[in-house]
Amino acid sequence: MKHLYNNILQNVAAGQKMLAVLIDPDKMRIESVSSYAKKVNASMATHIFVGGSTVAEYLCDKLVGELKKYTNLPIILFPGDVTQITNMADALLFLSLISGNNPDYLIGKHVQAVSKLQNSNLEIIPTGYILVENGKPTMVEKVTKTKPMSRDNLQLVEDTAVAAEYLGMKLVYLEAGSGASMPVSSEMIAAVKRRLSIPLIVGGGIRTKSQLVSAYEAGADMVVIGTALEQDESFFDILKPNTL
């Protein structure tokens, strides 16, 4: 039964904030998965995202298979490319990079993915993905050959998010980019959230508890953290359940 999106909607309706831990298969050694998954399980994380910009083929499959041995948390693919799709996961963010105008990332890769997806059990969640500038170039920018949206043009980012909702997308993901030096601003999160009735995901450059709390307070329904946990697993200690 494909119920992950409905669970997300229920959490939003109940005011329950969600946290996704992003695991990049290129940066996680298979031997480390069991201990990492234990830390994720003991934290406030509600979801695990798996994906990256430049993942070698079949690594996602291997990683998700290993993770499934150690966690019951839902595993959602956050793919940088078609090769990262694996039926081992529970769901897939079917991302459209709506901040840019590269047709490959608006529809091209999606068409390529269909033959894999139609034979899978993955819950497919169409997601409007908006890359916002963070002060330095990001891997997403490089790989997709698109420019991020300006931090200063709130109106344009808001309208882009609303256009995603009008197009029928089920989530909007405001992304500063992995390892961003500045996360998406609270002002932008609040402005976008005010205009949307679908759930809002925020990620990129969140490294402290106060940045996490600010993102939630501004209106993020789900926050994604990858780099900060990759670089320092002691960050899990301040992400215990019910400690925000």
Q: Which residues bind ligand 1GP (CB under 6 A)?
A: 22, 175, 178-180, 203-206, 224-228
Q: How far is the CB of 22 from ligand 1GP (least distance, A)?
A: 5
Contacts of 85 (CB under 8 A, 6+ apart): 60, 77, 79, 92, 113, 116, 117, 120, 122
End-to-end CA separation in angstroms for the chain? 32
Which CB atom, from 179 or from 219, has the smaller least distance to ligand 1GP?
179
Backbone angle region of 172, left / alpha / beta, with phi > 0 → left and psi within -120 to 50 → alpha:
beta
Which CB atom, from 1 or from 231, has the smaller least distance to ligand 1GP?
231
Which CB atom, from 18 or from 115, has the smaller least distance to ligand 1GP?
18
CA distance 158 to 208: 26
Q: How far is the CB of 52 from ligand 1GP (least distance, A)?
A: 8
Which CB atom, from 1 or from 19, has the smaller least distance to ligand 1GP?
19
Q: How far is the CB of 225 from ligand 1GP (least distance, A)?
A: 5
Q: Is 126 helix (H, G, I), strand (E, B) or coil?
A: strand
Which CB atom, from 54 or from 121, has the smaller least distance to ligand 1GP?
54
Q: How far is the CB of 140 from ligand 1GP (least distance, A)?
A: 7
Tokens read off for 67: 């993770």
Which residue in this structure is represented by tokens 């969600």? 18
Q: How far is the CB of 117 from ligand 1GP (least distance, A)?
A: 21
Q: In the chain, how long is the greatest CA-to-CA distance? A: 46
